[in-house]
Structure 1
Amino acid sequence: MYLKAIVIGSGFSSLAASCYLAQKGFEVIVLEKNETVGGRARQLKKEGFTFDIGPTWYWMPDVFERFFGDFGKKPSDYYSLQKLNPAYYVYFGENDFVEIGDSLEKITATFEKEEAGSSEKLFAFIDKARDNYEVAIKDLVYRPGVSPLELITPATIKRLGQFISTIKKDVRKEFDNNRLAQILEFPVLFLGAKPSNTPSFYNFMNYADFGLGTWHPQKGMYSVIEAMKELASSLGVTFYTDTAVEKILVENQKAIGVVANGEEYRADVVISGADYHHSETLLDQKYRVYSENYWDKKTFAPSSLLFYVGFDKKLANVAHHTLFFDVDFDEHAKTIYDDPAWPDKPLFYASFPSITDRSAAPVGKEAGIFLIPIAPGIEDTPEIRTEYFDIVIDRFEQLTSQKIKNKIIFKESYCVNDFINDYNSYKGNAYGMANTLLQTAFLRPKLKSNKVDNLFFTGQLTVPGPGVPPSLISGKLVAELVCKTLKK
């Protein structure tokens, strides 16, 4: 007899879980509250422009290859990839930026220009990061976070000191040049925490950056979502959009289905890829594992203020990905993690996919995405959004030496309130729960409920953590745990 599974949400982790479960013979139904699948990775299309609403960075291509390989497929069966050169620019002042190339050799040459002798240090640093990548991505992150013993291996015992020290300490010990140090600390931001709070072991992100490079899937990150949906559909998965789950049904301590749009959907197992905190609110109080106090004490990754802008010209002096580190990072970080508030002088990131991808904008025009990382849960009003758009555009014009205000065709914004309304995101966070030492592996919210049988969770608030590749892995982990549990 076939078992039936309901998957709540259709982001990367949910799509991955649905594929693996269908491959194992489950009848899988995916319920998505929004009009299109993709979760945070949806698209905005307007006046001939196309924007990825959510993730814009394609890192760790090997994780995507491993996912599709599990089904006898390759990413190239669904979408084409281009390695970006340059990978990105980092601005530190007016007409003052560092270009990160598409190979370690180019990057070490750049480092050497910035600081004599730094190239040798960088080679050694990336060698260590590569070793950690082999341990983490090929092994540790594919463990379900059930037991502390999962982390005890000969490789991790050998690296024990790296779980005690921090990225910031290690980087600053080797690199005196503040600009180079900031560039090396940047990838950790994908984990949702400050470099000073992130264990040294996570320097494997530097190998993901400098060693594996930055890629762009043709037609944007949404093409990956489309690929996963196509794969899932070919495996028999059924999708329902505009279908908001209102309650998880429990009988005799066992999940038996959900109520969505007032209609009951029965199943043998329920997997929620929606926001974990929200997912538990779909349960009666007695079935919730984590209290409001638990969530309130956790360190969440930032939220974001995003702008999607159509320009009536091609822009100069920018790369596909461009970071603006011309103000104090530590001061901005305090307003995210220590004393939540809007930053006086925000760092920001900009993406111009139309530099690489003709499908992103009409000929002669540019699609721009601007992102300011902010604390989750802070006030979000139209007036604040307008104020910060002006701040970002003024700085952008000054730093890149070009006038663009009068070339703006339109702008759309996205912030805390939208993350809450569209994704039921806890406090409007954008990236889930940060990967600090005390929020790693078995210390994160569990994939399996310990109060309700046959109820599971996946995504950025559980293992392995925030980011697109970890979300793919999370989907695989929960599917394996489902199969193992239901076989008992």
Structure 2
Amino acid sequence: MRKRIAIIGSGFSGLSAAAYAAKEGHDVHVFEKNSIPGGRARQFKTDNGYTFDMGPSWYWMPDMINAFFNDFGYEATDFYKLVKLDPQFEMIFADGRLNIPSAYSDLKTLCEDIEPGAGEKLEAFMNAARYKYEVGMRQFVQKPCHSWWEFVTPQIAASAVKLDLLSNFRSYVKRYFKHPWLVALMEFPVIFLGASPKKIPALYSLMNYGGYVLGTWYPMGGFYELVLAMQRIAESEGASFHFNQPVEEICTNKGKVTGLIVKGEELAFDAVIASSDYHHTETLLDAPLRNYREDYWESRTFAPSSLIYYLGFNEPIPNLKHHTLFLEHDFDGHIDDIYTDKKWPGQPLFYACCPSKTDPSVAPTGHENLFLLMPLAPGLEDNVAMREKYFREMITRIEKATGVTNLVSKIDYKHSYCVNDFIGDYNAYKGNAYGLANTLAQTAVLKPAIRNKQLSNLFYAGQLTVPGPGVPPSLISGKIAATAVNNLKSFRFEKTF
């Protein structure tokens, strides 16, 4: 039976939920506080010709992204052109630099050159990672995680040992590799999972397979092309989008959501999927109807926030790749500053994305588009002086790596984004950028629940619930929430907007 469904937020999980719910024939309405869809994956254009993706820039796990399109009878390439990057990225260390080749066979050769025997070790590592990827991404993350009983199946039980759920990522990687460059190569993807490699389950070696073996890609026009494609699919299925429409309150009666208050007007709905920040969503409810109290959120381990700079340069920057990791300082030192000491980093690592190396459309002819990102602890005091201090350090290190002097004089566009902006634009708890950490204590059923325990028709999606942070998990989260709504056995009424 047709239901009238509201979705709060149009990030990847909200777009996914909208598409899947509309596909079932429901009357779906998406409410977005900002002026365009995408959430953290928004895009903006400048008056002087630059196009900046605001958030995700690593197009990994292309098969999982394509699975969304397949569910609607499409391929991702029906909507945008994908380019496989070669090299995938560059890593800059204090004692040298490493280009990661696109071809897996070349990566094996590179590892062997760095550490004798590491080529075969890489093969063993990736064979195990592939198994984790197949089981983890195609089975584990598809579960709604209402109960541990969902995981009690013969196949999953047989996989338990191979999944290395109880091994930590640091010790697991060091079973295979000794050279610090190769250890860093394997460990760097987990920094955005929200904890030290010493606390992340070895299960997440699946990310290494999803990136290094399946490749690092780029959608021409920018990552926002994925957002626009998903919006087109949702709209083609019948979903309606309402921008500049912040939700002010979730209305309830007798154990059910009855509607939303948007700009002072009450709108009736049969069910709600909140893809907005989970903590913020709960503040739209009376306290007794919330799943979690404030002390619960205080006790959680969050993935990082970020200091981001969007920069335009009036000439090309040589010796810079599409993706570059600046790892000249101690990895654990920065990790401890984020997760243990929770302070601005003393010796930061950072990431630079220069999409104009691949895509001329994102910068004026002869210019360069550069995105800088430095992970940092959520909840830090954020001010212009602190942002500029780290901006100067990042620019200095880029100058050293590229051999270009006085880069600041070549900037013709500059904009920063940090903790306060994540809070203001996305109502992000403590300005987090990537949701909850994927520690063992915050995995599966131990994550915030996808359904409200007091209200039978309120569901949650996004990076603070299952399956977790990242683009492919967010697509899956929206699908899980939409499936839960589709499976509702009863609802109030049918009514058009």
Partner of 2:423: 420
Query: What SS does the corresponding residue of 2:487 show, helix, strand or coil?
Result: helix
Instruction: State how 1:206-285 maps to structure 2 within 5 Å.
Output: 206-285=208-287
TM score, norm. by length of structure 1: 0.98
Partner of 2:102: 102
Q: Partners of 2:419 and 2:65 in 1: how far apart?
A: 29
- Superposed CA deviations along residues 330-376 of structure 1, whole A, max 9, x for unmatched, are 11111110111001110000000100011111111100000000000
Q: Which amino acid aligns with 1:415?
A: C
Partner of 1:131: 131
Q: Partners of 1:179 and 1:286 in 2: how far apart?
A: 51
1:197 is matched with which residue: 196, 199, 202? 199
- Superposed CA deviations along residues 152-195 of structure 1, whole A, max 9, x for unmatched, are 34444345451111111011122110110011011222423321
Query: What SS does the corresponding residue of 2:479 show, helix, strand or coil?
Result: helix
Q: Partners of 1:405 and 1:156 in 2: how far apart?
A: 54
Partner of 2:117: 117
Partner of 2:481: 478
Q: Which amino acid aligns with 2:12?
A: F
Partner of 1:25: 25
Instruction: Extract unaligned runs of 5+ from structure 2.
Output: 492-497
- Superposed CA deviations along residues 446-486 of structure 1, whole A, max 9, x for unmatched, are 11101112001000000000000000000111111111123
Decide whether the 8 Å contact of 1:313 with 1:407 is kept in 2: yes
Q: Partners of 2:474 and 2:175 in 1: how far apart?
A: 32
Decide whether the 8 Å contact of 1:192 with 1:466 is kept in 2: no
Q: Partners of 1:133 and 1:118 in 2: how far apart?
A: 21
Query: What SS does the corresponding residue of 1:343 show, helix, strand or coil?
Result: coil
Q: Partners of 1:59 and 1:324 in 2: how far apart?
A: 20
Partner of 1:41: 41
Partner of 1:16: 16
Decide whether the 8 Å contact of 1:99 with 1:110 is kept in 2: no
Decide whether the 8 Å contact of 2:195 with 2:335 is kept in 1: no
Query: What SS does the corresponding residue of 2:484 show, helix, strand or coil?
Result: helix
Q: Which amino acid aligns with 1:466?
A: P
Q: Does 2:166 match 1:164? A: yes
Q: Partners of 1:58 and 1:11 in 2: how far apart?
A: 16
- Superposed CA deviations along residues 243-289 of structure 1, whole A, max 9, x for unmatched, are 00010000111001110111111100011000000000000111011
Partner of 2:290: 288
Decide whether the 8 Å contact of 2:334 with 2:348 is kept in 1: yes
Query: What SS does the corresponding residue of 1:486 show, helix, strand or coil?
Result: coil
Q: Partners of 1:472 and 1:308 in 2: how far apart?
A: 26
Partner of 1:435: 438
Query: What SS does the corresponding residue of 1:316 show, helix, strand or coil?
Result: coil
Q: Partners of 1:421 and 1:304 in 2: how far apart?
A: 14
Partner of 1:329: 331
Q: Partners of 1:198 and 1:15 in 2: how far apart?
A: 29
Q: Partners of 1:79 and 1:106 in 2: how far apart?
A: 28
Decide whether the 8 Å contact of 1:167 with 1:196 is kept in 2: yes
Instruction: State how 1:449-460 maps to structure 2 within 5 Å.
Output: 449-460=452-463
Number of residue pairs matched by the alignment: 487
Q: Which amino acid aligns with 2:458?
A: L
Decide whether the 8 Å contact of 2:319 with 2:401 is kept in 1: no
Partner of 2:88: 87
Q: Which amino acid aligns with 1:369?
A: F
Query: What SS does the corresponding residue of 1:372 show, helix, strand or coil?
Result: strand
Q: Partners of 2:420 and 2:9 in 1: how far apart?
A: 19
Q: Partners of 2:194 and 2:430 in 1: how far apart?
A: 15
Decide whether the 8 Å contact of 1:87 with 1:102 is kept in 2: yes
Q: Partners of 1:434 and 1:115 in 2: how far apart?
A: 32
Q: Partners of 1:362 and 1:62 in 2: how far apart?
A: 32
Partner of 2:495: none
Partner of 1:357: 359
How many angstroms does 1:211 deviate by? 1.1
Instruction: Extract unaligned runs of 5+ from structure 1.
Output: none
Q: Which amino acid aligns with 1:58?
A: Y
How many angstroms does 1:487 deviate by? 5.5
TM score, norm. by length of structure 2: 0.96
- Superposed CA deviations along residues 403-428 of structure 1, whole A, max 9, x for unmatched, are 22221112100000000000000000
Partner of 1:406: 409
Q: Partners of 2:187 and 2:228 in 1: how far apart?
A: 32
Q: Partners of 1:449 and 1:348 in 2: how far apart?
A: 38
Q: Partners of 2:79 and 2:149 in 1: how far apart?
A: 38
How many angstroms does 1:147 deviate by? 1.0
Query: What SS does the corresponding residue of 2:208 show, helix, strand or coil?
Result: helix
Q: Which amino acid aligns with 2:38?
A: G
Q: Partners of 1:38 and 1:382 in 2: how far apart?
A: 26
Q: Partners of 1:316 and 1:171 in 2: how far apart?
A: 33
Q: Partners of 1:301 and 1:400 in 2: how far apart?
A: 31
Displaced runs of 4+ in structure 1, greater than 6 A?
none
Q: Partners of 1:425 and 1:327 in 2: how far apart?
A: 29
Q: Partners of 1:290 and 1:206 in 2: how far apart?
A: 34
Q: Partners of 1:60 and 1:226 in 2: how far apart?
A: 19
Q: Partners of 1:380 and 1:3 in 2: how far apart?
A: 43
Query: What SS does the corresponding residue of 1:336 show, helix, strand or coil?
Result: helix
Q: Partners of 2:158 and 2:304 in 1: how far apart?
A: 32
Decide whether the 8 Å contact of 1:140 with 1:150 is kept in 2: no
Change (3 A) 1:306 1:251: same
Change (3 A) 1:399 1:64: same
How many angstroms does 1:17 deviate by? 0.4
Partner of 2:52: 51
Q: Partners of 2:348 and 2:489 in 1: how far apart?
A: 49
Decide whether the 8 Å contact of 1:159 with 1:201 is kept in 2: no
Query: What SS does the corresponding residue of 2:244 show, helix, strand or coil?
Result: coil
Query: What SS does the corresponding residue of 2:93 show, helix, strand or coil?
Result: strand
Q: Partners of 2:347 and 2:275 in 1: how far apart?
A: 35
Decide whether the 8 Å contact of 2:192 with 2:304 is kept in 1: no
Query: What SS does the corresponding residue of 2:324 show, helix, strand or coil?
Result: strand
Decide whether the 8 Å contact of 1:135 with 1:155 is kept in 2: no
Query: What SS does the corresponding residue of 1:197 show, helix, strand or coil?
Result: coil
Q: Partners of 1:251 and 1:17 in 2: how far apart?
A: 24
